[in-house]
Amino acid sequence: MEADLKQILTQLHGAVASYKMPANARQLIGSGEVTLLCGVTAAGKNTIANYLVSHGDYAHVVSHTTRVPRENHGIMEQSGNEYWFVSPNEMFGLVNSKAFIEVKAIHGETVYGTSIEAVKSVIEAGKHPVMEIDVQGALELTEAVPGLRPLFILPPSYDVWMERLGTRGFISDGEKQRRLRSASMEIQTALDHPSFLLIANHEVEMTAAEIMKGVDPGFQSQAELRKLAEELLETIKNI
């Protein structure tokens, strides 16, 4: 049994590594219906997404994962709520059937994927899909779908950023440094690729309201936001 699982995992990770977005997924993502949120840790992506869902015609896109459900504050995660929890064998079948818009193996282990059906079901329910996605995944989507503009969320300043990070509970110095290194690479990626639309999240309500209207590139000066991003990068380097 253990040998069978190891073989399935090897096949799954190989299929994930070579996965290419199918044409119907490119058409769906390029339809303008989907809001893509990415950005650095503690910038407010999840808070913004939750606000959009609570105050507008938006709904979360529930992703698939091979990890097991966890208990949060005494409540066990349920399939279809936080994630669709599937076995490696089920995930392998979905990957082979080209069911995903994007699919990734995180840290070379757990596989996460956003299915075409998950996005379509939100649209068919009359809602706008909201996808929180990592920066590399967003970049790959822009390469597959020309003209796509993911929203890259920035904190309004380094000091505010650190305050928000501090509200997430105790974080060791090592973990903080790891997150900042990741943030540095993410910011640099956004600066290097003009497809990302930068947004400084001063207040969740204001940011969400602008997203609901359809973000105007003039809402916040992209030149000023690039300067902010460069200042954040410089501060991280000098820590």
Which domains are delineated in the chain?
Answer: 2-237 (3.40.50.300)
Q: Tell me, what DSSP letter sits at residue 56?
A: S
**Quick check: helix, strand or coil at residue 122?**
helix
CB 128 within 8 A of CB 142: no
In whole angstroms, what separates CA 15 from the centre of its chain? 21
**Dist. CA 19–CA 203, nearest whole Å:** 38
CB neighbour list of residue 9: distance below 8 Å, 6 or more residues apart: 88
Q: What is the pLDDT of residue 215?
A: 78
**Quick check: helix, strand or coil at residue 35?**
strand
- Higher pLDDT residue, 40 or 134? 40
Mean pLDDT of 113-131: 96
Count Cα neighbours of 158 within 13 Å in the Cβ-side half-sphere.
Answer: 16
**pLDDT per residue over 43-99, tens digit each?**
999 999 999 999 999 999 999 999 999 887 789 999 999 899 999 999 999 999 999
**Dist. CA 23–CA 110, nearest whole Å:** 26
Q: What is the Cα gyration radius of the chain?
A: 18
**pLDDT per residue over 192-237, tens digit each?**
999 999 999 999 999 999 999 887 766 789 999 999 999 999 999 9
CB neighbour list of residue 188: distance below 8 Å, 6 or more residues apart: 233
